[in-house]
Amino acid sequence: MRILIIEDDQDLCRLICLALNQAGYETDSCHTGSDGLFYAKNQAYDAIILDRMLPEIDGFTVLTALRRQKIHTPVILATALGSLPDRVSGLDAGADDYLVKPFAMEELTARIRALTRRPGSLSLSPTLTAFGLTLDPASRQLNYKETSLNLSKKEGALMEYFMKNPSQTLPRAMILSYVWGSSCDVEEGNLDNYVYFLRRRLKALDAPVKLSTVHGVGYRLEAKTK
């Protein structure tokens, strides 16, 4: 499960990343509203921690832009402005939760757990289904009919991303960011290797799906044509 932290206080940002990493989440972070908007628009996240007072573009504007573009990633708005009108305006702008600074990291992680348990959120817990395949992201068990197999951590993350976006062409950069993290220095050949591994897994399941190469762009999970 990957979370984006958009926070201009770099010390606080590091503390949040550390706490979430220790809780088992993967994180990306940035310190301006413009960078945060770019990350959120071009990469897939399960939740966003968004500061309200940001340089370049404020958090409300970032949030409004995301919702206008039909990006419904759950957002926790984190701010020192804690009056009732501030909280109401934040929720009305499209935030899913509102957390007043200073806050305990235990409260933040509890709110993330509660947020991702809500129906429609991108929690790691619900089973994913596509083309007759089912995947439990927590156990990384992939099933087709009566056959099942266990995926490695990277295979599981890659399959999870494909099954969240069936029949969609996923650019290589977005796949690399989702599986390895935006700040991770990884060779693109690693992605090709893991796609090869997943193709073997799908063949072993005799599943009627394929991972198609879209030359110059990325990959797509789709049904096999008869």
Same domain, 100 and 139: no
Q: How far are the Cα atoms of 104, 151, 157 from residue 114, in angstroms, in the given order? A: 16, 27, 22
Largest CA distance in the chain: 60
Same domain, 143 and 69: no
Give the pLDDT score at 202.
94
> What is the distance, to the nearest Å, from the Cα of residue 63 to the centroid of all Cα atoms in its chain?
16
Same domain, 73 and 138: no
Q: Supply the range of the domain harboring residue 184.
A: 128-223
| Spatial CA neighbour of 6 closest among 68, 71, 56 | 56
For residue 75, list its beta bridge partners: 48
193 three-class SS: helix
Give the pLDDT score at 197.
93
What CATH number is associated with residue 141? 1.10.10.10
Give the pLDDT score at 212.
95
**Residue segments in the chain with a per-residue pLDDT below the cut of 50:** 120-125
Tell me the pTM: 0.56
DSSP-derived secondary structure letter, 131: T
Same domain, 107 and 150: no
* 14-63 confidence digits (pLDDT tens): 999 999 988 888 889 999 999 999 888 877 788 899 998 899 999 889 99
Cα angle for residues 78, 79, 85 (degrees, 5° grid)? 110
Single residue among 88, 116, 144 that ends a domain in this structure: 116
